[in-house]
A and B are shown apart, each in its own frame.
Chain A
Amino acid sequence: GQNIDQPTEMTATEGAIVQINCTYQTSGFNGLFWYQQHAGEAPTFLSYNVLDGLEEKGRFSSFLSRSKGYSYLLLKELQMKDSASYLCAVRDHQAGTALIFGKGTTLSVSS
């Protein structure tokens, strides 16, 4: 089966850096996605990792270690608008389709 764990809540201040961790257990790993979801809105794609290492995209970076079943999303220069839920999702080719989502991490950014 699959299992994805991420912290339920995190807080940070404007301008700071925050790291949101995600650990997963899956039998047929085939890629890891991070999505952002503001309250009352749909999830939107942030990043994708399938090989080990860091993927950087502006203020957001995502890291993957397949041997450790571990990923993190790094948000730099935090802004109030970054207050949202961040969803870690894994694609497992043995599951056949779609994404398996973690329960999400709610990030609150204060001034």
Chain B
Amino acid sequence: TAGITQAPTSQILAAGRSMTLRCTQDMRHNAMYWYRQDLGLGLRLIHYSNTAGTTGKGEVPDGYSVSRANTDDFPLTLASAVPSQTSVYFCASSQDQGSTDTQYFGPGTRLTVL
């Protein structure tokens, strides 16, 4: 099985432009997450979804939006990109948000905003 896929692998984006990062999982996991990873700051949660139809804000949600129309897909949208959003973005999923559930990560999207 593919697990979690993300697209694109990398992208250079002009400031002010919008972009959607795609994330799809084939494990029928209920919960999905978006993190950004920056040097010296580690992984930080942007948004999450406990189940299809629900979303919530993480530690650094400003400038990002998400939707969860179905179980498999969890796109992340930057409405108007700024250089501080240059980062590596990881999507993750887990069976549910119970304490024992392991999160599995996608391969990441490297985004550069100029």
**Which A positions have Cβ atoms within 8 angstroms of B?**
30-31, 33, 41-45, 48, 50, 87, 89, 91, 93, 96-104
- 10 of the cross-chain contacts (CB-CB < 8 Å) are A33-B102, A43-B90, A44-B105, A45-B103, A50-B100, A97-B31, A97-B97, A98-B33, A101-B35, A101-B42
Assembly CA distance A43 to B108 (angstroms)? 10
Residues of A within 8 A of B43 (CB): 43, 87, 89, 101
**B42 near A102 (CB under 8 angstroms)?**
yes
Residues of A within 8 A of B45 (CB): 97-100
Residues of B within 8 A of A89 (CB): 43
Question: Which of B33, B40, B99: most chain A Cβ within 10 A?
Answer: B99
Known: A87-B42, A101-B43, A101-B44. Is A31-B100 also a contact (CB below 8 A)?
Answer: yes
Across the A-B interface, how many residue pairs have beta carbons closer than 8 Å? 55
Q: Does B64 contact A (CB under 8 A)?
A: no
**B56 near A97 (CB under 8 angstroms)?**
yes
Assembly CA distance A44 to B56 (angstroms)? 24
B106 contacts which of A31, A42, A98 (Cβ < 8 Å)?
A: A42
Query: What sequence of 0s and 1s flags, for each residue 84-108 of chain B, a beta carbon within 8 Å of any chain A beta carbon?
Result: 0000001000000101101111111
B101: min CB distance to chain A, Å: 9
Q: Does B50 contact A (CB under 8 A)?
A: yes
Known: A98-B48, A104-B42. Is A41-B99 also a contact (CB below 8 A)?
Answer: no
Assembly CA distance A97 to B58 (angstroms)? 8
Question: Which of A42, A48, A50, A103: most chain B Cβ within 10 A?
Answer: A42
